[in-house]
Amino acid sequence: MARDGALYVCQTCGAAQAKWSGRCPACGAWNTLVEESASAPPGALKPARGGKARGLAFEDLESQTPAPPRLITGMAEFDRVCGGGVVPGSALLLAGDPGVGKSTLLLQVCAESARRGAACAYISGEEAAEQIRGRAQRLGLADAPVRLAAETALREIVDGLKREAFDLVVIDSVQTLWSEAHEAGPGSVTQVRACTAELVRLAKRRGVAIILVGHVTKDGQIAGPRLIEHLVDAVLAFEGERGYPFRILRGVKNRFGATDEIGVFEMGDAGLAEVRNPSALFLNEGGDRAAGAAVFAGIEGSRPVLVEVQALVSPSVYGTPRRTVVGWDSGRLAMVMAVLEARCGLGFAGRDVYLNVAGGLRVSEPAADLAAAAALASSALDVALPQDCVVFGEISLSGDVRPVSRTESRLKEAAKLGFARALAPAAAPGVAESSGVRLNGVHRLTDAVTRIGEGQWP
């Protein structure tokens, strides 16, 4: 029985219900409804009674005052993903799984910025000041003039930030924050939303850049970062595969720049090291590439990145063969396999197919089609591709290999890393010569499969 004034809010999607149930009717998640007070948050719109309207004041699109310069944190990979530094007066959300390295990254960002003269504060609701100090010591950042606080009460944080002027403030994490204006517990949808909205207002008013940490949660015990994505100016996702030291910072939303940039880091004893040349990282160093491996010359954001795509096609022992893919879209794999079957005569019936993008990278470009197809064909035919060959190109359902953007940059990156051949869409002559990579241009996927099968490479 629902009590008066009680609302049950799904911690995953934020939908509110008058009655509790085991499953959220809106998003279908189980055990995520939590009782929260139904009272409207302070600052919610109230109908004006008898008050005079202020009148809407229009402004020009062209600004009269120059925008303040961006804050360059000194962590180049971080700055690039932000769109060239952090914008003063903006709120940024860094989302990621627990343990991926969010606190480590932001402590480093804070320290580097502080060393460059910015006034920085790191406010943690998760760790004691002593713990953070210990980490800073281990990372060799103890000398940086970062102001440190362990606090979860929103009012204290807001007061503190009004007393002292800062350029950059990190709040770790938004799920530990708690405002006394609401009855719900920390980490609930109500608290997370209300605290974020308050901090975003503070950022705009005081011109301070605020970075919020948000844990991605799968079980709905605490509210996830999705609920506040619309409140902040930029959302960065920090990702990493378990067992790999690589961490990838990806722009998800950015009101001040492009969202297709990635930053690559390597987690080590000294914290997160920036990886300036990711290609070298994602290629399997040493040893020959066996049948089933193809090096994809991709573009991530504005940068070319070479990454190994590995496929294994093996006889299946199950009635229904397995199709497993890591780091690529499974729908795209099904399409490429269908085209290989229908247009190139490669059969996958009764065979398990595994596809893996090495190094924990996620590839989403259509240009990876041909690399995946080459890896699959190479494994199915048990013929290795030449060691010095990169692959890229989009495949259409008709079996055509379609040109992709930025062929030059892909080939230049390949040349830089010692590759001499490219299996790619047939392009205008002259492109490949300039980069020193020999282009094996193909118009149709069958031509590529034939070349792989025969092992004849000019």
Residue nearest to Mg ion (CB): 103
* Residues that contact ligand TYD, how many (by CB under 6 A): 13
Closer to ligand TYD by CB, 245 or 403: give it.
245
Instruction: Give the contact letters, 43-82, x = binds to ligand TYD (CB under 6 A), - = no.
Output: ----------------------------------------
Q: Does 102 bind ligand TYD (CB under 6 A)?
A: yes
Compute the distance between CA of residue 286 and CA of residue 272 in angstroms, rounded to an integer.
24
Smallest gap, in angstroms, from Cβ of residue 126 to Mg ion?
5
The H-or-E segment that residue 210 falls in is strand 209-215
The piece of 38-46, 101-109, 242-250, 375-383 that touches Mg ion (CB under 5 A) is 101-109
Residue 100 touches which of ligand TYD, Mg ion, none (Cβ within 5-8 Å per kind): ligand TYD
Closer to ligand TYD by CB, 292 or 360: give it.
360
Read off the tokens for 80.
Answer: 């690039």
Distance of CA 168 to the CA centre of its chain: 22
Residue 98 touches which of ligand TYD, Mg ion, none (Cβ within 5-8 Å per kind): ligand TYD
Sheet containing 6-10, strands listed edge to edge, beginning at the edge strand earlier in sequence: 16-17, 6-10, 33-37
Compute the distance between CA of residue 212 and CA of residue 172 in angstroms, rounded to an integer.
6
Residue 99 touches which of ligand TYD, Mg ion, none (Cβ within 5-8 Å per kind): ligand TYD
Smallest gap, in angstroms, from Cβ of residue 100 to Mg ion?
9
Closer to ligand TYD by CB, 275 or 305: give it.
275
The H-or-E segment that residue 415 falls in is helix 407-416
The helices-and-strands tally (H runs, E runs) of the chain is 11, 21
Q: Which one of residues 25, 28, 43, 99 is an interface residue with ligand TYD (CB under 6 A)? A: 99
Read off the tokens for 429.
Answer: 């002559």
Compute the distance between CA of residue 338 and CA of residue 332 in angstroms, rounded to an integer.
10
The piece of 95-103, 321-329, 397-405, 418-426 that touches ligand TYD (CB under 6 A) is 95-103
Q: Which of residues 130-149 bind ligand TYD (CB under 6 A)?
A: 135, 139
Smallest gap, in angstroms, from Cβ of residue 4 to Mg ion?
39
Helix (H, G, I), strand (E, B) or coil at 432: helix
Compute the distance between CA of residue 101 and CA of residue 271 in angstroms, rounded to an integer.
9
Degrees to nearest 5, angle at CA 185 with 183 and 186:
125
Q: What is the DSSP letter of 441?
A: E
Smallest gap, in angstroms, from Cβ of residue 146 to Mg ion?
16
The piece of 9-17, 99-107, 111-119, 366-374 that touches Mg ion (CB under 5 A) is 99-107
Q: What is the DSSP letter of 19?
A: S
Closer to ligand TYD by CB, 106 or 293: give it.
106
Q: Which of residues 256-275 bind ligand TYD (CB under 6 A)?
A: 267, 269, 271
Q: Does 379 bind Mg ion (CB under 5 A)?
A: no
Q: Does 217 bind Mg ion (CB under 5 A)?
A: no
Compute the distance between CA of residue 367 and CA of residue 356 in angstroms, rounded to an integer.
16
Q: Are 92 and 199 in contact (CB under 8 A)?
A: no
Q: Which one of residues 11, 12, 32, 103 is an interface residue with Mg ion (CB under 5 A)? A: 103
Q: Which has the closest alpha carbon to 191: 177, 202, 207? A: 177
Smallest gap, in angstroms, from Cβ of residue 118 to Mg ion?
22
| HSE of 438, CA atoms in CB hemisphere, 13 A | 8
Smallest gap, in angstroms, from Cβ of residue 141 to ligand TYD?
10
The piece of 78-86, 98-106, 151-159, 422-430 that touches Mg ion (CB under 5 A) is 98-106
Compute the distance between CA of residue 103 and CA of residue 126 in angstroms, rounded to an integer.
10
Backbone angles phi, psi at 422, to 5 degrees: -140, 130
Q: Does 108 bind Mg ion (CB under 5 A)?
A: no
Closer to Mg ion by CB, 100 or 295: give it.
100
Contacts (Cβ under 8 Å, ≥6 apart) of 80: 261, 263, 301
By CB under 6 A, name the binding residues for ligand TYD: 96, 98-104, 135, 139, 267, 269, 271
By CB under 5 A, name the binding residues for Mg ion: 103
